[in-house]
């Protein structure tokens, strides 16, 4: 694992997993990815997590297998939901897709850039079919909205499936 941000805050923990090249944020193609580095993105998430009464922790790895391992280990470590920016693995990795499916927690996929407005090969998102949802194109706000979504999905999972009219209203 290239980088670890230790758990911070109190409350149910949400894991933020970043794939290849996201360690270079801040100096990498700021036209697409903005000026903030991953430390700054994580600091913003730590602040928001406090508001949402969650804890947050992070990983960044340039290795596909480490992304898989982080996802598969999460639930056993008490993590209730995850945000995943797979980087370019979003377009290629069936292994990460299967890990998202097997993780046993809701995984919200996030992208800083609007992948649908870029090269054609970025339009294909192979992990998305296993993700709880995808938020793309909003810069660091994609992560922040992703954390709000992860918090809501995790608390719904803890409450159990709604039934009848409650199920209608929850949609």
Distance CA(103)–CA(57), nearest Å, equals 16
Q: How far is the CB of 6 from ligand DQA (least distance, A)?
A: 23
List binders of ligand DQA among 50-89 (CB under 6 A).
85, 87-88
Q: Taking a C-beta distance cutoff of 8 angstroms, is the pair 109, 90 a contact?
A: yes
63, 111, 116, 143: the catalytic one is 111
Distance CA 77, CA 137 (A): 31
Restricting to residues 137-166, name those near ligand DQA by CB under 6 A: none
Angle (CA) 20-30-67 rounded to 5° is 15
Q: How many residues bind ligand DQA (CB under 6 A)?
A: 10
| Contact yes or no for 90/23 (Cβ under 8 A) | no
| 1 sits near ligand DQA (criterion: CB under 6 A) | no
CB of 164 to ligand DQA, least distance (A): 39
Selection from 2, 161, 154 nearest residue 79 by Cα:
154
Which residue is it, tokens 């995808």?
A: 134
The least distance separating ligand DQA from the CB of residue 35, rounded to whole angstroms, comes to 14
Site for ligand DQA in 17-36 (CB under 6 A): 21
Least distance (Å) from ligand DQA to the CB of residue 48?
Answer: 18
C-alpha span between 129 and 141 (Å, rounded): 22
- By annotation, the residues acting in catalysis are 33, 111
Residues lying near ligand DQA in the complex (CB under 6 A): 21, 85, 87-88, 90, 111-113, 115, 122
């Amino acid at each position: 694992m290239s980088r670890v941000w230790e758990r911070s805050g109190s409350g149910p923990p949400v894991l933020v997993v970043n794939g290849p090249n996201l360690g270079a944020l801040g100096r990498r193609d700021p036209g697409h990815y903005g000026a903030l580095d991953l430390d700054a993105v994580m600091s913003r998430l730590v602040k928001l997590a406090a508001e949402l009464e969650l804890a947050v922790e992070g990983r960044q790895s340039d290795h596909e297998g480490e992304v898989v391992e982080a996802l598969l280990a999460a639930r056993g470590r008490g993590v209730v939901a995850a945000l995943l920016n797979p980087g370019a693995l979003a377009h290629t990795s069936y292994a990460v897709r299967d890990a998202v499916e097997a993780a046993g927690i809701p995984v919200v996929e996030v992208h800083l850039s609007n992948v649908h407005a870029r090269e054609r090969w970025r339009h294909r998102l192979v992990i998305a079919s296993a993700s709880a949802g995808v938020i793309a194109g909003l810069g660091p706000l994609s992560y922040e909205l992703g954390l709000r979504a992860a918090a809501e999905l995790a608390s719904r999972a803890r409450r159990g499936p709604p039934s009848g009219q409650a199920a209608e209203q929850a949609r």
